[in-house]
Amino acid sequence: MTDTDRHGQRSDDAAFEKAAKRVFDRSVADVDAATGSRLAAARRRALREANAGPHDVRSGGTQAQRPWFTPDRWWLRRTGGLLAVTAALVVAVALWVGSSVQRTEPPAVEDFRSVALLDLEILLGEAEFDLLEDLEFYAWLDELAELAPPVSDDDGIG
Amino acid sequence: MQTQRDIDAHTSPPTSLESFLADIEARAFRYALVAVRNPDDALDVVQDAMIALCRHYANRPGAEWRPLFFRILGNRVRDFNRRSSVRGRILSFFSRQDDGDGDARPDPIAAAPAGRDSDPCVRLAQDDAMTALSQALGTLPARQREAFMLRVFEDMDIAQTATAMGCSAGSVKTHHSRAVAKLRELLGEHR
């Protein structure tokens, strides 16, 4: 490529850039009123943020929006932190103690075993099982005994 | 049409953050619109960039605001496009069986807010040119598009563009020249 070609290309590029800028500037001037007012609202909000003071990154808002985190309430932050740490410790200790108690004392299992053994005894004890089965019959016998006249000790024998 | 205020905004440092933002907001919106291709998303991105500038750089000299603002805006656009890309992949995964041809979003430039020019022919020509330019810019790699838009649309010199893009002056020159070559190839008939 000769110097003349290079110069020609550069001037073509410049003309192209100028035309592109003209198109872009026209589109900027064409921004409608609704968009313009939304942009103005965005600008006002941004300026309010700037006037509200430094941004608290951890809380995600400005100090004016979040008065709990203002520097003059440093003690609140410190107290809150201590409370959080204490609560976490209490929970951890409670979980640890609970798990160790469960490991050393298995009462639930023993209770379950005793209940199971009792059931087994009932099932294996044939006489008692028969008693349970004939419970209605024995109840009927009791009713008969109550209705029947009393029997005297003197039965005439002897 | 470029107003006197726009020209002043490019040549002299702003006196207050409010005037700076007022001067730049419409340009920033168009800049973001080319990159994110949706007016609502562009507004969100511009607002985020304004808030970040006000929070972190309000005390910096006014002359630094422009490159800083466009650097923040560029980062916000990149974040947005990254999130959109992830969201798009997830959505396309779930709707693969429903629709095979992908992007059904309306043309964002066609859906962009209407202009103030009353002459429909002039408006049509302007819209047509901006649509073509925007579509061509959309085909460029992000860094080339950024370099072109900052150098050409925002009249930034190489040092300011390098600051705004967070790269070296050499990279700016490379990205810019490649962008111009590609755009000229794409937009030959629109010149």
Q: What integer pLDDT is reported at residue B1 of this predicted model?
A: 45
Cα of A76 to nearest chain B Cα, Å: 25
Q: What is the pLDDT of residue A54?
A: 55
Mapping DSSP to helix (H, G, I), strand (E, B) and coil, where does residue A62 land?
strand
Q: Verify whether the Cβ–Cβ distance B47 to A45 is below 8 Å.
A: yes
3-state secondary structure at position B183? helix
Q: Spell A119-149 as b/e; 16+ CB within 10 A means b.
A: eeeeeeeeeeeeeeeeeeeeeeeeeeeeeee
The sign of the dihedral angle between the CA atoms of A105, A108, A112, A117 is positive
Q: Are A38 and B138 in contact (CB under 8 A)?
A: no
pLDDT at res. B109: 53
Supply the pLDDT for residue A119. 67
The ipTM of this complex is 0.75
Q: Which chain A residues have a beta carbon less than 8 Å from that of B30?
A: 24, 27-28, 31
Rounded Cα gap, residues B25 and B29, in angstroms = 6
Cβ contact B114–A32 (<8 Å): yes
If you measure CA to CA, which chain B residue comes closest to A42? B47
B147 interface with A at CB cutoff 8 Å: no
Q: How confident is the model at residue A111, as a pLDDT?
A: 61
Q: Which of A19, A24, A62 sits opposite B153 (nearest CB)?
A: A24
Q: Which residues pair with A61 in a beta bridge?
A: A56
Does position A143 have pLDDT exceeding 90, yes or no? no
CB contact under 8 A, A26 and B153: no
- What is the overall mean pLDDT for chain A? 72
pLDDT digits (tens, 9 = 90+) for A88-125: 889 888 888 877 666 555 555 556 566 666 666 666 66
Q: Is the pTM of this model over 0.90?
A: no
Question: CB–CB of A50 and B17 under 8 A?
Answer: yes
Which amino acid appears at position A150 of this protein?
P
C-alpha radius of gyration, chain A, whole number? 47
Tens-place pLDDT, residues A47-76: 988 777 654 444 444 444 444 444 455 556
Q: Please give chain B's pLDDT, 191 residues, in tens.
A: 445 555 455 556 677 889 999 999 999 999 999 999 899 999 999 999 999 999 999 888 988 999 999 999 999 999 998 888 787 777 777 666 555 554 555 555 555 555 455 566 666 677 788 889 999 999 999 999 999 999 999 999 999 999 999 999 999 999 999 999 999 999 875 54
